[in-house]
Amino acid sequence: MFSNTFVLAITSGLLLSCLKAYMDYRAALRSINYHPGFCALIPSFGMLGLLFKEPRRGLWGGWRRFWRRKYLDFQEAGVDIISHIAFVPSVTTYLVLADAAAIKEVTGHRARFPKPSYEFFRIFGGNIIASEGDEWKRHRKIAAPAFSEHNNRLVWNETAKIVCGFFENVWGSQAEVYVDDVVQSLTLPMALHVISIAGFGKQTVWRADGTLLPKHKLSFQDALHVVSTDLWIRFVMPTMLLDLAPTKRIAKVKLAFEEVEQYMLELIQERRDAEKRDERHDLFSNLLDANDSDENGDGSVKLTDEELLGNIFIFMLAGHETTAHTLAFTFGLLALHSDYQEKVHQQIKSIMPDNRLPTYEEMHLFTECTAVFYETLRLFPPVTTIPKISAEDTSLVTTDRAGNRVVVPVPCGTSLHLSVVALHYNPRYWDDPYAFKPERFHGDWPREAFIPFSAGARSCLGRRFFETEGIAILTMILSRYKIELKDDPRYAHETCEERWQRVLDVKDGLTTA
């Protein structure tokens, strides 16, 4: 008797839950006027999307869905704004955008379409990424001057020296060098050295003797590398569990965060204690100088020490990982397209035929390097989507394949995602979008359909830093070396598409990796 009652209660509960989900689903469809898209049990966004990242038709969207399918969902729907309704943990409606005009509308109206909360980025304190509204304006007022023209020049000059040091001290006189993991062996170490000097004024040397500074257990570069690699562990694990340190890896993550915080605090104190401040243009010094110059005289604009740490950490994190991965994809693309690589090499040699170091004033002349870099960012954007929220009942306008005007209702509280990858593969803006064609970035090109650094007022402050460093490294490498894929009999019979997939395989990471 008891068991029958229990089963009946469970069955009734499930039926009621299913009925409620169905009613919520119908209400969600009505709220967006039955706009086309797709449904899934598990969403493609948020922590659940990351947990069930691989897409399964009819079961869950998966974090990788929009990378795997790129523009296909929009192509099948016949319109460049699509809906995505998920059922777990509750019925949620998302609108996903691959329309350049609609994206411009969203990024141009911050009050109507603010960012969602990025609380997990407040590891050391509030910062420009995790803030919104007046708080964001305060952070931006202090942070924006740090990315100055003086800093860009420093980035270029120091990057050129770092690459030269790599040639001399790591590769030496080798005429041919085999790199098994281009990120770990080449681009990430270079990016770490650049962010050390151009970001924090900390000179580093290749093949250091391993001597640590007093009171430290990890070098600055080692600590930063661990933090960027295993940042997700810090996101998902409460501090209490980190303190228990159940594994060596978690213990090292905890130590790395402690070391990074200690290094940043020492840098702040060292800068403040200096009787006479040298004229320096690294990001860290610029940030402290801007914060110390209180225009109002009442401290209303100043950042607290915790907020300084928060911003420094964000600059440090974003300032090396994105560059390292983008350069790795660039080298892979050039290895697969030797004809264009030769074109880039010839332009570099025409500008500096004597193997001298390129100058910052010449950066604008390396148009082929810039075109290759941009095409890499189009094909492999650092982030696949940019989240926003509708703060009011509103609507967005797009067109269908027949050119008809389509008005999409956007109820207050709707989650919007600007699909960077779908926009970058949208044939409305890019001819033959799946092909590697750097020449598309010569002359006129659809700038509003290119958003690897986001768009509008919230676009990336470090864009110029990123481009300067990347183009400098690319120029230096291609001036001396030709990038080729190593012959391997295991892959002798693979097709061009199979080779592309193998060489340019995308892995999980804080950004596209």
d(CA 75, CA 64): 18
User: Based on the number of CB atoms within 10 Å of its own CB, is 276 exposed (0-12), middle (13-18) or buried (19 or more)?
Assistant: exposed
Distance of CA 344 to the CA centre of its chain: 26
* Sequence letter at residue 209: D
Q: Is 369 annotated as a binding residue?
A: no
* Sequence letter at residue 181: D
Report DSSP state, residue 185: I
- Smallest Cα–Cα separation from 131: which of 393, 314, 390? 314
First to last CA, the chain: 58
d(CA 195, CA 218): 17
Per-residue 3-state assignment (H helix, E strand, C coil) for 455-506: CHHHCCCCHHHHHHHHHHHHHHHHHHCCCCCCCCHHHCCCCHHHHHHHHCCC
Distant-in-sequence, close-in-space partners of 475: CB < 8 Å, separation ≥ 6: 348, 358, 366, 369
- Smallest Cα–Cα separation from 188: which of 225, 215, 213? 225
User: Based on the number of CB atoms within 10 Å of its own CB, is 46 exposed (0-12), middle (13-18) or buried (19 or more)?
Assistant: middle
Report DSSP state, residue 170: I
Residues contributing to the annotated binding site: 460
Residues contributing to the annotated binding site for heme: 460
